[in-house]
Structures are given as structure tokens and as C-alpha cells.
Chains A and B, each alone.
Chain A
Amino acid sequence: MEGVKSSYTEEQRHRIFESEFLPHIDAMYNFAYRITYDEDSAKDLIQDTFYKAFKFIESFHAGTNSKAWLFRILKNSFINEFRKKNKEPVMVDYQDVETYYNSEDVNEVMSSDLRVEALQNMIGDEVSNALNALAVDFRIVIILCDLEGFTYEEMSKILDIPIGTVRSRLHRARNLLRERLRAYANSMGFK
């Protein structure tokens, strides 16, 4: 992602934009929608991200990981502009996350009342609601890892946090998601 600046001709810039940036637009829109939970906001965020990507295209090295580079711009746009504008109320106390991960709680026996069959019987809306109920920072790591398939290292670069923090946040996010899913499963009568 970082490195010496390149100098592209106008034609090269357009080619990079069309062949390396645009193929990721659906994944980015999906990510934007999942973090804003609003189609119009997601559309605005995508337009803003692509505008910035083109504006700063000189700092992108053709042939490198364009998807991670674009997701990083998207995430920064979301944090710097969208979240400020919308006064996102739910923030994660990362110290709390770190403390949790390093505590004895991580050895806790996970509850046995969430059966795999209950999970498999859930419909998309229930899964979506459970995910959306998480604080956005937790939602982000789950989407990046499970939906978009980024590696820990890529997520570390996108989110500007150490790999250990990526893993601890992901672990905490999954535990919270499991709790939400368990609540749905119980409400459906699965024991």
C-alpha cells in the first residue's frame, strides 16, 4: 500500500481505474451498506471513495493489492466523514477488548445451548439483524474476514491496527455475534 510514488499517464490512470478499481465496486458497496445500514449513505460513501481513489491514484502501485487499498480509503472515509456526520453513537472500548482477550475469560467454556442446527435454520434477516446489532467496529472485522476474505495482515493495514488487535477484535466480535444468534435461536424455540 505504501511506497514510492508512481507517475501515470492519463491513459494509465483510466486503465487502472477500470481494470483494478472498478471490479471491486460491488464488494465495496456491500461493505459500505453493511457498515452504514443505509443504501443512500452507502452510495454516497462509494462515490466519495472512488473519487478519492482516483485523486490519489499516484500513491497506488499498479498490480498490487487494489482491493485492500480501496477498502482502506473506504474505511477512512467512513470514520472521518460519514460517522462524524451521523454521530454514530456506538463506539468500542478497545482497551476493554484487549483486557478481555488477555483475561481468563478467553478460557471460558462456550455455551452449549447454541446448536449448529439452530444456526443452519436461521434465515438471512435474522443473521443480518444479529450482525447489525453489533457495534460497527466489530461488524467491520467480521465482514472483512468472513465475507470479503481478507487476511489478518490485510485487515491490519485496512484498519491501521496491529495483527494481534485484529485477531482479538475478531474474537470478541464473534463472541458477541454468537450471543445475538443464541438469542434468536432461543426465541425460535431451539434449545
Chain B
Amino acid sequence: MAARWARPVCAFADGVPSSEGARGSRVRSAVASAPGVSGLLVAVLLSVLPAAGAGSADAERGKALYGQCKRCHQAGSGAGHRIGPHLNDVFGRPAGSLTDFEYSPAMKAAGSGGLVWNEATLEAFLADPRALVPRSRMSFAGMEGAGDRADLLAWLRVFSGAGSDLPPAEPTATPEEYGLDPRLLTIPGDPEYGAYLAGECTTCHRGDGAAEGIPSITGWPRDDFVLALQAYKRGKRVHPAMQLVAGRLSDEEIAALAAHFSRDEDQP
């Protein structure tokens, strides 16, 4: 009997470099404290939280970490809902409770079930969003370091209960950030064409918006949708499948998809 799988020849020679991922995970021992949470949630949280200790969280580091959130969220004076809800006064807010944001059914149900955002629940959500709220639309795998999470929460606290002293909200993705022509945002899209093109999306992205390993793409602001696809098309966002899909979409086709998937009713 011979032949140990002789030839490591790859049947497919082509490829796109895939440098996605690579999230830094600097683990520190700083900590979040866990104020009173009731019932089942406590059991969940106890298994997630490190030992509680004195707050040594660093809000300035948290500000840098907040960069990961900025693509979808705004916080500060003038903040509005983008792909995700604004984060002003998030501490103390019941989950899924802002009436002018379209949450996933899962997030609304979690709020009705008693989930209130505080240091402990936010810490658990940041550690593993899908463990705390399965089928949430938040497309974030989780932040590994407990110290990082504590620092981020220290920064988010700045936007809760600070009245008019909030720093101004920073924008989510902008054309400039990706070096794109702002006129790309003004192309009208044909929703009927978008509905057909969407068939290519819904093989992987759930039509109902749940994000389970693959991000939700429903109900975004149109501009964010166009920018994300344009950024993939031009290689400014990295994911091989998305670069492949977006790479052959024309500007009009991207606008058509945005018209189909976005929550904005009006054409630009």
C-alpha cells in the first residue's frame, strides 16, 4: 500500500489575500463591578465576569477602543441612530427601548424580559453579544479582553447622564474615510432591480436581519449601506467574499441594493 497523499497541489490557484480578522486581544486584569442584576441574568453574568475589583478603567484607552463601534454607532451631542442606535444614556436604559430605532425582535424581547443596560450587562454583551442576546442584529463577534471592555465602558459612561456637556458625536463612515466621491451617495436606486440583486445577498445574509456569524444588512441608513459596498468594491474593506460580490456591482446596482435593503424611504 503506497502513496501518502502525494501531491499537495491546490486545485484552485487564484485567490484574494484575506487579512480579515486579526483583532487585538490585550488582556488586562482591570475589572468591571457587577451591580445588582436579577434572576437568570446573574447566573449568566457570573460565568462571564472576572472577579470584581476596584475600578481602574481607563476612559482614554476606551475612547480609542470605541473606534470599533463608530462604524455603526454614534454617541455625543447631536448623535442619531445609524446602523445601530445612538449610545447616549445607554446606562440604565432597558434593552431595545428607544422607540425611534428599529431593533431586532430578539433585542426587543430581551428588553421586555427585563434586560437593562448597566455595567454588568453591557460588559457581558460586549464580551459575547450573541451569547447574551441570540439573534441580535449587532454584527460584532465580541471583545476578548476584560480590561478592554472595562476601558470601553468607562468611555461610554461619558455619554450617560452628563447633560449638555457631552462631546460632539463623531460621524459613522464617511466617503472621505474611504477616499470615495461623495456623489456616490446621490445616485438614485431602482428598488425593483435591487430586489432581484438582493437574491445574491440573502443566500448568506438572513432576510430577517438576524446576525449569526454573518452580519445583518437590513434596515441600515442608505448612505452607510452604499459606503460599505463601495468600500468593498474598491478594496478599502477587506473580506474576500464581499470584495468578490461588490467588485462586480456597478454604482447603480449598489444604489439599487441600498434602495431595497435600507430603512430610508426617500431616494437621495
A and B from one assembly?
A: no
Which residues of A approach B to under 8 Å, CB–CB? none
